[in-house]
Structure 1
Amino acid sequence: MLAWVALSCNCTQAGAEKKAALADALTSYLPRTLEALENGLIDEGMASKVFEATACASREVAAEVDSRLTFENKNPGSLRRMANSLLMRVDPEGYEQRRRAKTAARMVEIRHGDHGSSTLFAELPSDRAQAIYALCDRYALDKKRQGDVRTMDQLRADGLVELCLGGECGGKPTAQVFVYIDLPTLMGLRNNPAELAGCGEISPEMAREIAFDSNSVWNRIVSEPMTGLPIDMGRKSYRPSKKMRRYVQVLHRTCYLPGCFRPAQYSDLDHIQPWSEGGGTDKVNFRPFCRVHHGLCDEPGWEFHTGDDGTITVTTPDGRTYTEKPTGFI
């Protein structure tokens, strides 16, 4: 049967098996995802993200996650993040068991390709993977500032090779990876999900492991219980001080454009109200944008509006609007 499906759909046997499993899930325990697919809110690829995120759990847990999902103005990455976050809340014990099993199954794999090129895969805990990427990214940025003509992708790859093989690494750059956890959870009084910037929510157990690891190189950001915000630090000049830059990065966590999850510490800071029009250099007027989306701020037809509660509304040249409240605001 699956062989016939594979032939008729012009896909491999494995692809046919995935399609069949997705169809079974949509018609049995993911009804709201199926409804969103039928109404054109998502496509098959986005439906697959929900299925893949929940396939490890029981059908009852997956159905509960499905019932809580919202699909408006979501891209594949943000939809999968929402499914993962809900899964952690609906089934915290199961999530932690799977997280530990994934950690135990960590591995590195190499796949040799054509023309003298190979691909190296590493299945790692998210915090380790994020730290390695951040170190390679910092290496690439430092090289670019020195006038290196290689692309950022080339520099990250070359940086990884130099780091693994013991080469010099541009003055030994320090990677910055932020882990956000509220004080009661850090103390073990609560078990609220924490966040690994650029990756998404992580279990409280994993966050505490990172926070109390004597060899940890990650920056743990403990939120103040009453407001959830760090201390404000301002400066009256066009360019932010290092303290202000760090504050904005800690506050916003990722690129400010809805649906982009590049960590804020690797983004540009931009004045929401232009400096030339009286905009200040402070926490209210600064937002982090990744390099790609920073360029959109000055493009014709793109509009950005920020509410008092930190909500950002982006209007595209074709009139579509996307609204999101950044994680760092309460």
Structure 2
Amino acid sequence: MPDDPLGRIAPDPDDRGRGAAVVAGAPAAGEGLGERLDAMAAGPGLLAELEALDLGALPSFELPEVVVQARRVAARAHALEAAAAAALARHPDLRHPDLAAVCRSLPEGTAFVHADLAAADLSARLLVSPGEAKLLIREGRAYAGALADTGAALADGRIEPAKARAIVQGAGDEPAHVAAAVEAEVLPRVAGRSVKQVRADVARALNRVDPDGAADRHRTARAARTVSRPRILQDGMAGLWAVLPAADAVRLDGMLDALARRSRHAGDPRTLDQLRADELLDRVLGRTAHPAAAGGTVAPSHRDGAHEHHDAFGLVAGSDAEPAQAEAAAPAGVAPTRAEVAPAPADLVAARPRDGREAGPRTVVHLTMSLGTLLGADDAPGDLAGYGPIDAQQARAMALDLGSTWQRVVTDPLSGTVLDVGRTTYRPPAALADHVRHRDKYCTAPGCPVPATRCDLDHTRAYHPPADGTPTRPLGTTCAHNLGPLCRTHHRLKTAGILRVHQPTAGEFIWRTPTGHAFRVRPGTDEPTLHLGAPPHPPDPPLPF
């Protein structure tokens, strides 16, 4: 097999538009700028075509296509970058005759290999960390070896660098036959998947291809758990990154959310993000609570003579904005909307230990698995809400831990229909909301990774008439085929009419953007997002939904 993935590239018209479809009445393939550029190889010719375009004169529909084609050129450049990094690690100049002596002089337990020397060289030249340079070398080796098809797709611009890297990070260190089997399962449908979805696809495929190795992989990964050193951010802030076992990370996230929401319900003026960060610091550092002044500012913490303001540190973590925060961050002209279905404070159950001290609220984590996995009849991976696929052994252990805060969701292995939803640790939302969130799992917008448990439940067809009483389309009903989870950002954009969505069948969502692009999303399934192309008419007139 050749070392250089670029030597394997030959444009294949049959690979164009993989995973895409065209709306009835849309322009035929080849009529638009995107189709013409997509037929070109990702190389100097395509770059020259892109540079010659007058971007200001293009219609809005074509501009996203230009972005897509520019990313194809960048993908080919990344393939060359990785191949050159791998070649550097193989270069005779890095096979230093005194390497063994150098290794012996290092601290005990530290060993350098040729890739480490090449990474040190690259990190100095590129001004990146050695770890980043070593990952680039790892990519180049994988693309020239067991993951050669991924390297070929990257060099032809048919897969983005972040998605190719996700495949390498998930399967690149596995035996060649395992890595190739995972690649064969994941690569054909990667075009319609986000980076997060590709990572989940790789994890699921790896568990299916090599279920016996799941425990060893988890043991090895668990041994690498860590909390990073503070990373410098602007304006006196710093970021921390924690790598934890999935179950512990999801529990920690849920506990911080529950504590923050309880404080908000009690009238604390801080946002959820601020409260999550402050709650973590208060508990880890043993600080007292931060008193809030009348103006909404937070006073410094005073404990053991320390005078530290709570904003001295920051934690980089994703969470939903509270209404006040989201209103401030909303795009101009977008009116804020309240959540149609929001978690109620009563969903948080306070627990009190035997010593009488008040503990934090208990949280619930949803774990979805097939009936066969639960009974041990097969090893299909489970799905940990807010994280993704988790191997069968861990899923069974969590499901059988009935005294914990897991909510077990058992599904039929063939149809995926929910068979059982455990409710033992908190008061559940309405059955309909429960069903819709389990059905869709994530925000229904294309590529949005926000879990349904952190989304608003939105009526796809508006339930309420406009405030000004003007005529409108028929009002929607509150039913499964007219509800779907939307994160706060996409909810606002949809309510403002910037994004339009239609739900032709329950759990199937057709989105249209201001530039006229349409996408079909089934967020609760493994089906890829389909780019449906251009609508049959210009996007300016009102759309039929």
**TM-score of the two chains, using structure 1 as the length reference:** 0.84
The answer to whether 1:161 aligns with 2:281 is yes
Q: Contact between 1:57 and 1:94, CA under 8 Å: does it hold in 2?
A: no
Q: CA deviation at 1:209?
A: 0.1
CA deviations on 1:97-148 (whole Å, 9 max, x unpaired) are 2123334x26453625669866555432212211210121232233344443
Aligned to 1:153, the other structure's residue is in SS state: helix
Match of 1:111 among 215, 218, 229: 229
Q: CA deviation at 1:152?
A: 2.6
Q: Which residue of 1 aligns with 2:151?
A: 34
Q: Which residue of 2 aligns with 1:228?
A: 416
Tell me: CA distance 1:16–1:223, structure 2 relative to 1, closer, same or farther (3 Å): closer
1:204 partner amino acid: A
Q: CA deviation at 1:149?
A: 3.3
Q: Within 5 Å, which residues of 2 pair with 1:291-306? A: 291-306=488-503
Q: CA deviation at 1:291?
A: 1.5
Distance 1:16 1:329 in 2: 33
Match of 1:143 among 263, 267, 281: 263
Q: Contact between 2:409 and 2:419, CA under 8 Å: does it hold in 1?
A: no
Q: Contact between 2:481 and 2:503, CA under 8 Å: does it hold in 1?
A: no
2:174 partner amino acid: A
Q: Within 5 Å, which residues of 2 pair with 1:46-125? A: 46-68=163-185, 69=187, 70-103=189-222, 105=223, 107-109=225-227, 111-112=229-230, 120-125=240-245
Distance 1:179 1:8 in 2: 45
Q: Contact between 2:436 and 2:485, CA under 8 Å: does it hold in 1?
A: yes
Q: Contact between 1:251 and 1:329, CA under 8 Å: does it hold in 2?
A: no
Please say which of residues 39-48 and 77-86 is displaced more in the overlay: 39-48
Q: Which residue of 2 aligns with 1:236?
A: none
CA deviations on 1:209-252 (whole Å, 9 max, x unpaired) are 001114321100112467533479xxxxxxx9633322322332
CA deviations on 1:287-314 (whole Å, 9 max, x unpaired) are 1112222222124442223242622232
Q: Which residue of 2 aligns with 1:290?
A: 487
Distance 1:301 1:33 in 2: 36
Q: Contact between 2:455 and 2:486, CA under 8 Å: does it hold in 1?
A: yes
Q: Within 5 Å, which residues of 2 pair with 1:171-190? A: 172-190=360-378
Distance 1:38 1:157 in 2: 42
Distance 2:161 2:247 in 1: 30
Greater C-alpha Rg = 2
Identity of aligned residues (%): 30
2:378 partner amino acid: R
Distance 1:108 1:15 in 2: 17
Distance 2:207 2:414 in 1: 24
Please say which of residues 45-54 and 135-144 is displaced more in the overlay: 135-144
1:44 partner amino acid: P
Match of 2:451 among 252, 263, 271: 263
Tell me: CA distance 1:282–1:19, structure 2 relative to 1, closer, same or farther (3 Å): same
Q: Contact between 2:349 and 2:362, CA under 8 Å: does it hold in 1?
A: no
Q: Which residue of 2 aligns with 1:237?
A: none
Aligned to 2:485, the other structure's residue is in SS state: strand
The answer to whether 1:20 aligns with 2:137 is yes
Q: Contact between 2:511 and 2:519, CA under 8 Å: does it hold in 1?
A: yes
Q: Contact between 1:112 and 1:118, CA under 8 Å: does it hold in 2?
A: yes
Distance 1:136 1:218 in 2: 16
Q: Contact between 2:452 and 2:485, CA under 8 Å: does it hold in 1?
A: yes
Q: Contact between 1:139 and 1:170, CA under 8 Å: does it hold in 2?
A: no
Aligned to 2:268, the other structure's residue is in SS state: coil
Q: Which residue of 2 aligns with 1:198?
A: 386
2:227 partner amino acid: E
Please say which of residues 130-139 and 318-327 is displaced more in the overlay: 318-327
| Gaps in structure 1 of 5+ consecutive residues | 233-239
Aligned to 2:362, the other structure's residue is in SS state: coil
| Gaps in structure 2 of 5+ consecutive residues | 1-87, 89-117, 290-347, 351-359, 421-427, 465-473, 528-545
Distance 1:209 1:57 in 2: 25
Aligned to 2:410, the other structure's residue is in SS state: strand
Q: Within 5 Å, which residues of 2 pair with 1:304-323? A: 304-308=501-505, 310-323=507-520
Tell me: CA distance 1:305–1:149, structure 2 relative to 1, closer, same or farther (3 Å): same
Distance 1:133 1:167 in 2: 21
Q: Contact between 2:499 and 2:512, CA under 8 Å: does it hold in 1?
A: yes
Please say which of residues 135-144 and 48-57 is displaced more in the overlay: 135-144
Match of 2:460 among 272, 276, 279: 272
Q: CA deviation at 1:175?
A: 1.6
CA deviations on 1:39-97 (whole Å, 9 max, x unpaired) are 33433233222111113311221122222222213332122221222111111112232
The CA RMSD over aligned residues, in Å, is 3.2
Higher relative contact order (CA 8 A, sep 6+): 2
Q: Contact between 1:179 and 1:220, CA under 8 Å: does it hold in 2?
A: yes
Q: Within 5 Å, which residues of 2 pair with 1:206-217? A: 206-217=394-405
Q: Which residue of 1 aligns with 2:246?
A: 126
Tell me: CA distance 1:97–1:251, structure 2 relative to 1, closer, same or farther (3 Å): same
Q: Contact between 2:454 and 2:487, CA under 8 Å: does it hold in 1?
A: yes
The answer to whether 1:325 aligns with 2:442 is no
Distance 1:226 1:71 in 2: 23
Q: Contact between 2:502 and 2:510, CA under 8 Å: does it hold in 1?
A: yes
